[in-house]
C-alpha cells in the first residue's frame, strides 16, 4: 500500500480517482434508501457511532430524564456544557469517558455519564464506485452488514468486460486533521477466482473505489 503526498478531503478523493482513470465518469443516481433500524445485540459495547445514529444521554447527577441526541453529518454530538464533541468512529463507552473527563474538568465535581444507542442509521455513510463498472455512482454502507469492496462492485452492477479486475484501487483518507490519503490495490482475480475472500476489504464512509480499464499491447 502506498501513501499519496497530498492532503485531500472526501471530494478530493474523487478528483484523484478520475485522474487515475484518465477519463471522466458520469455518476449514476445515488443508490440505497434512508431510514433507521434497531441496534443489534451488544451494540452498546462494540458498535462505533456513525452519522445519523440516535443516542440517549444524561448525567445522573443532574437528576433529569435522558435526552435524545443525533450524530450530525459532521460526526458530532451536541453535548450540554461541552458543545460539539466528535462521536463518529467511537463506541458509547469511549465517548462517555471523554465526555465525563470534559465535564469534570470544568463543570462537575463528579459526572456519571450514561450514553446508550437508541436507533442506528440504516446507512453508515456512503462510498463511491467509479470507472469500469456497470453503474458507477454513490452507494450507502448498510449498518447491518460488513460492506466490502467486492460487495460495492457487485452493488454497482459488477465489472464491465474490459475492466482490470487485478487493478482495483481503494482510496481512503486516514483519520485526523492533516491526514494523508492512502491507496490500496486489490486483485479480484485472486479474491474471487481463487477464493481469497479474506483479502477483500471492509469499507468506511467516504471511501472511493476505482476500477481501471485493462491495458492492451497493440
Q: What is the pLDDT of residue 25?
A: 39
Q: What is the pLDDT of residue 89?
A: 85
- Size of the chain in residues: 218
Q: What is the pLDDT of residue 137?
A: 94
Cell numbers placing 107: 463543570
On whether the CB atoms of residues 190 and 199 are closer than 8 A, the answer is yes
What average pLDDT values come out for the chain (218 residues) when binned by 10 residues? Answer: 45 56 42 48 67 90 93 89 92 95 95 89 82 94 85 95 95 76 94 92 92 77
Q: What is the pLDDT of residue 5?
A: 40
On whether the CB atoms of residues 86 and 23 are closer than 8 A, the answer is no
Report the 10 Å Cβ neighbour count for 143: 22
Pairing of strands 123-131, 208-213: parallel
Greatest alpha-carbon span in the chain? 76
Find out if CATH 3.40.50.300 is the number for domain 37-121.
no
**Looking at domain 2-35+123-213, what is its CATH homologous superfamily?**
Outer membrane lipoprotein wza domain like (3.10.560.10)
Asked whether the whole model's pTM tops 0.75, one would answer no
Cell numbers placing 126: 456512503
Q: What is the pLDDT of residue 3?
A: 43
Rg of the chain, C-alpha, whole Å = 20
**Residue-by-residue DSSP string for 32-46:** S---EEPPPTTHHHH
Q: What is the pLDDT of residue 57?
A: 96
Domain with CATH 3.30.1950.10 in the chain: 37-121
Domain with CATH 3.10.560.10 in the chain: 2-35+123-213
The alpha carbon of residue 171 and the mean position of all alpha carbons in its chain are separated, in whole angstroms, by: 12
Q: What is the pLDDT of residue 16?
A: 57
Q: What is the pLDDT of residue 205?
A: 86
Amino acid at each position: 500500500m502506498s501513501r499519496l503526498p497530498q492532503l485531500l478531503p472526501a471530494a478530493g478523493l474523487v478528483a484523484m480517482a478520475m485522474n487515475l482513470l484518465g477519463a471522466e465518469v458520469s455518476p449514476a443516481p445515488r443508490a440505497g434508501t434512508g431510514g433507521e433500524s434497531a441496534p443489534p445485540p451488544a451494540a452498546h459495547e462494540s458498535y462505533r457511532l456513525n452519522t445519523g445514529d440516535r443516542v440517549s444521554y444524561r448525567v445522573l447527577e443532574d437528576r433529569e430524564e435522558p435526552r435524545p441526541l443525533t450524530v450530525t453529518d459532521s460526526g458530532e454530538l451536541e453535548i450540554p456544557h461541552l458543545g460539539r464533541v466528535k462521536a463518529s468512529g467511537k463506541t458509547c463507552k469511549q465517548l462517555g469517558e471523554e465526555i465525563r473527563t470534559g465535564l469534570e474538568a470544568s463543570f462537575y465535581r463528579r459526572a456519571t455519564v450514561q450514553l446508550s444507542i437508541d436507533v442506528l442509521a440504516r446507512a453508515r455513510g456512503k462510498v463511491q464506485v467509479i470507472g469500469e463498472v456497470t453503474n458507477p455512482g454513490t452507494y450507502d454502507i448498510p449498518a447491518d452488514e460488513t460492506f466490502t469492496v467486492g460487495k460495492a462492485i457487485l452493488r454497482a452492477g459488477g465489472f464491465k468486460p474490459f475492466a482490470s479486475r487485478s487493478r482495483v484501487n481503494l482510496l481512503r483518507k486516514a483519520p485526523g486533521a492533516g491526514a494523508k490519503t492512502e491507496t490500496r490495490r486489490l486483485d479480484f482475480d485472486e479474491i474471487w477466482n481463487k477464493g481469497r475472500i479474506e483479502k477483500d476489504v471492509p469499507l468506511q464512509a467516504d471511501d472511493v473505489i476505482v476500477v481501471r480499464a485493462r491495458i492492451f499491447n497493440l
